[in-house]
Amino acid sequence: DARVTQTPRHKVTEMGQEVTMRCQPILGHNTVFWYRQTMMQGLELLAYFRNRAPLDDSGMPKDRFSAEMPDATLATLKIQPSEPRDSAVYFCASGLEFSGSGNTIYFGEGSWLTVV
Amino acid sequence: QQPVQSPQAVILREGEDAVINCSSSKALYSVHWYRQKHGEAPVFLMILLKGGEQKGHEKISASFNEKKQQSSLYLTASQLSYSGTYFCGTDHQGAQKLVFGQGTRLTINP
């Protein structure tokens, strides 16, 4: 049963602490996305990678957020320092992209972050 | 660039039908529909590619009007399990970079 795996599932941290979220995409998928979901903003695209190369991180606050893909089976999203306004659900999604394929993307269970 | 979904919320009785609309201000390559239940991840329902096709999945189907830059999701004879928030995700370049609407909350009562 192929699925996107995210850790941690839940995290409560104090303001100013570093938070790292990890994602294992579906095996064979070459595109990885980070989305953030809040009641006010809905699902926002933060960053995405194709074949491990960052393609777009324009949705990410650059001063405190960073996203990397150290290898094909691991993507990370780091917040340093964290702030209460970062409290949200962070979803990782993966897909297989090749030109004109019309393939969709599949979401992980999400990392529920609360910054107090 | 974010697509506009309507209505924002719908309340139905089991067995009734519903239509959820998704409208974009930019040309569309594809539209992806997802359903999300409370506390869970969005789950993929179907994808519509440019060309105006219609797709079906059990009693859930969707259409795509490329000219109007719109897609509609049709839920027929709704079941309790259909409850949740429905999102459309639009892809404008064929690059899988999906921009999501604000969602339509569907409540099905017995």
A47-68 confidence digits (pLDDT tens): 999 999 999 988 998 899 999 9
Residue A27 structure tokens = 């095996």
Is the domain covering B4-109 a CATH 2.60.40.10 domain? Answer: yes
* Count of Cβ atoms closer than 10 Å to residue B3 Cβ: 24
Q: What number is the average pLDDT over the span A78-82?
A: 97
Which residues are bridge partners to A11 per DSSP? Answer: A113
Asked whether the beta carbons of A80 and A64 are under 8 A apart, the reply is yes
Dist. CA A57–CA A46, nearest whole Å: 6
User: Which residues of B are less than 8 Å from A104 in CB distance?
Assistant: 32, 44, 47, 96
Confidence of residue A4 (pLDDT cuts 50, 70, 90): very high
Domain A5-101, second-level architecture: Sandwich (2.60)
Position B66 scores a pLDDT of 86
Average pLDDT along chain B: 91
Position A52 scores a pLDDT of 95
Residue with tokens 């719109």: B70
Which residues are bridge partners to A22 per DSSP? Answer: A7, A76
Taking an 8 Å cut-off on Cβ atoms, the answer to whether A109 and B32 are in contact is: no
A103 vs B: CB within 8 A: yes
Q: What's the length of chain B?
A: 110
A57: left (phi over 0), alpha (psi -120 to 50) or beta: alpha
In terms of pLDDT, which residue wins out, B30 or A11? A11
User: What residue segments make up the domains of chain A, in order of their start?
Assistant: 5-101
Question: Is residue B6 pLDDT above 90, yes or no?
Answer: yes
A5-28 confidence digits (pLDDT tens): 999 999 999 999 999 999 999 999
List the single residue in A with minimal CA-CA distance to B40.
A109
